[in-house]
């Protein structure tokens, strides 16, 4: 290929839909208006308390219903939102929506804590911290924030101070994706977290790998020693569920119980009481 043909090929690729560079630019431009256009919505994924055999809480996950692209998942737009300074407004929108949906759930007779994911960038943003605390005020006991350790490591002092502020107003702090990013036991012991979520990378192959069960079990023991409750994310099989039960894992979340679903599907899920204990409990040979 001569140089001219290579350049022409590049131009054609750039102008066609579907090239990463083109997508990124267009998506970024469109993202700014997406909240105002009502294109964002939430899905909820329940968490089950293993010993109590009940739904203990749920996580809100944001989705973008794009007018032409269809459903865009957070992995494709959260980094962009962080880059263009839209993550604060998006997270405050999420918080409002969660509080609104909690009123609907309360009217149905369900009193559930709902967790939202908080980007590390916001842990250093004093105006976000103030606005979030103001929004949560009366509902703090029913709101949880999921944060990753990696996001704390960027600016530990202000992150830990702001997490303490959230904890002081009564928000439950959970450490998300534990073990997948940069972990530091020095920070772990300083975080005002009540819950630790083991990353799904250790859970998805739990019963078909040699090392994952050892990592998961020692993480559960570590968290318990630090007086935190443990959630395993990415629980997809009965076998994983059984093993986690034996290991003393407190809560589980994953496709075995439910995928992330709309608020209406979640209300139906709670109404149907789809949690049939016999389906999710460990086989008797595993029982503690
Ligand atoms: P995360 O908070 O760790 O959420 C768990 C992700 O794993 C979700 O993907 C969920 O759909 C998926 N998942 C749940 N159970 C299973 C399972 O059993 N198997 C498998 N293979 N996957 C499972 P999702 O919804 O695409 O979210 C990806 C990430 O995007 C989240 O990871 C979170 O870090 C981020 N995110 C989502 N919503 C928000 C938000 O409102 N704000 C911020 N800052 N980040 C968000
Ligand atoms: Mg999360
Ligand atoms: Mg997670
Ligand atoms: Mg994750």
Per-residue pLDDT tens for 58-97?
999 999 999 999 999 999 999 999 999 999 999 999 999 9
Distance 70 CA to ligand 1 centre (A): 18
Residue 25 confidence (pLDDT): 83
CB-based contacts of 111, cutoff 8 Å, min separation 6 = 105, 142
| Alpha helices (H) in the chain, listed in sequence order | 3-15, 20-34, 74-83, 87-107, 126-136, 149-153, 156-169, 185-188, 212-225, 238-246, 263-272, 277-280
Does 135 score more than 80 pLDDT? Answer: yes
> Does any ligand 1 atom lie closer than 6 A to the CB of residue 258?
no
Tally the residues of the chain: 288
> Does any ligand 1 atom lie closer than 6 A to the CB of residue 82?
no
Query: HSE on the CB side for 137, CA within 13 Å?
Result: 4
Residue 4 confidence (pLDDT): 56
Distance 61 CA to ligand 1 centre (A): 6
| Confidence band, pLDDT 50/70/90 cuts, at residue 275 | low
Distance 43 CA to ligand 3 centre (A): 14
Segment 117-128 shows an average pLDDT of: 96
The ligand 1 atom nearest the CA atom of 81? 44
**Phi then psi for 203, rounded to 5 degrees?**
-105, -35
Interatomic CA distance for residues 225 and 183, integer angstroms: 17
SS3 65: strand
Q: Angle, to 10 degrees, between the axis of helix 87-107 and the axis of helix 263-272?
A: 30
Does 7 score more than 60 pLDDT? Answer: no
Distance 75 CA to ligand 1 centre (A): 8
Cβ 56 vs Cβ 47: under 8 Å? yes
Query: HSE on the CB side for 208, CA within 13 Å?
Result: 6
Segment 26-53 shows an average pLDDT of: 93
Residue with CA at minimum distance from ligand 1 atom 7: 234
SS3 42: strand
Task: Please give the mean pLDDT across all residues of the chain.
Answer: 89
| Token reading at 97 | 């929506």
The ligand 1 atom nearest the CA atom of 82? 44
**Phi then psi for 37, rounded to 5 degrees?**
-80, 0
Does 179 score more than 90 pLDDT? Answer: yes
Ligand 1 test: best mutation among 63, 95, 117, most atoms within 8 Å of CB?
117
The residues placing their C-beta within 5 Å of ligand 2, an ion, are 117, 146, 176
Distance 117 CA to ligand 2 centre (A): 5
pTM for the full predicted model: 0.89
Cβ 42 vs Cβ 62: under 8 Å? yes
Distance 60 CA to ligand 1 centre (A): 9
> Does any ligand 1 atom lie closer than 6 A to the CB of residue 86?
no
| Confidence band, pLDDT 50/70/90 cuts, at residue 15 | very low
Residue with CA at minimum distance from ligand 1 atom 34: 117
CB atoms within 10 A of CB 42: 21
Q: What number is the ipTM of this complex?
A: 0.97
Which tens digits make up the pLDDT trace of 212-232? 999 999 999 999 999 999 999
Ligand 1 test: best mutation among 41, 46, 61, most atoms within 8 Å of CB?
61
CB atoms within 10 A of CB 237: 16
> Does any ligand 1 atom lie closer than 6 A to the CB of residue 119?
yes
Residue with CA at minimum distance from ligand 1 atom 30: 74
Distance 67 CA to ligand 2 centre (A): 26
């Amino acid at each position: 290929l001569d140089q001219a043909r290579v350049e022409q090929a590049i131009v054609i690729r750039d102008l066609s839909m579907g090239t990463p560079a083109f997508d990124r630019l267009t998506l970024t431009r469109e993202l700014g208006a997406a909240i105002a256009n009502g294109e964002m919505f939430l899905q909820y994924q329940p968490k089950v308390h293993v010993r109590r055999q009940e739904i203990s809480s749920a996580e809100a996950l944001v989705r973008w219903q794009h007018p032409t692209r269809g459903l865009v998942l957070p992995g494709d737009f959260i980094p962009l939102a962080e880059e263009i300074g839209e993550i604060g407004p998006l997270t405050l929108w999420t918080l409002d929506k969660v509080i609104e949906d909690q009123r609907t759930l309360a009217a149905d007779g369900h009193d559930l804590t709902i967790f939202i994911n908080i980007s590390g960038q916001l842990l250093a943003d004093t105006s976000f911290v103030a606005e979030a605390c103001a929004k949560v005020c009366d509902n703090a006991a029913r709101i949880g924030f999921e944060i990753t350790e990696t996001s704390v490591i960027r600016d530990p002092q202000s992150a830990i101070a702001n997490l303490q502020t959230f904890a002081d107003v009564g928000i439950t702090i959970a450490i998300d994706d534990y073990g997948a990013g940069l972990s530091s036991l020095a920070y772990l012991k300083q975080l005002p977290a009540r819950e630790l979520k083991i990353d799904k990378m250790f859970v998805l192959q739990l019963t078909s790998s040699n090392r994952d069960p050892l990592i998961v079990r020692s993480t559960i023991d570590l968290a318990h020693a630090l007086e935190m409750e443990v959630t395993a994310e990415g629980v997809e099989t009965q076998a994983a569920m059984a093993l986690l039960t034996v290991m003393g894992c407190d809560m589980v979340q994953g496709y075995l119980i439910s995928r992330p679903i709309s608020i209406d599907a979640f209300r139906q899920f709670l109404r149907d009481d789809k949690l049939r204990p016999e389906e999710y409990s460990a086989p008797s040979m595993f029982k503690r």
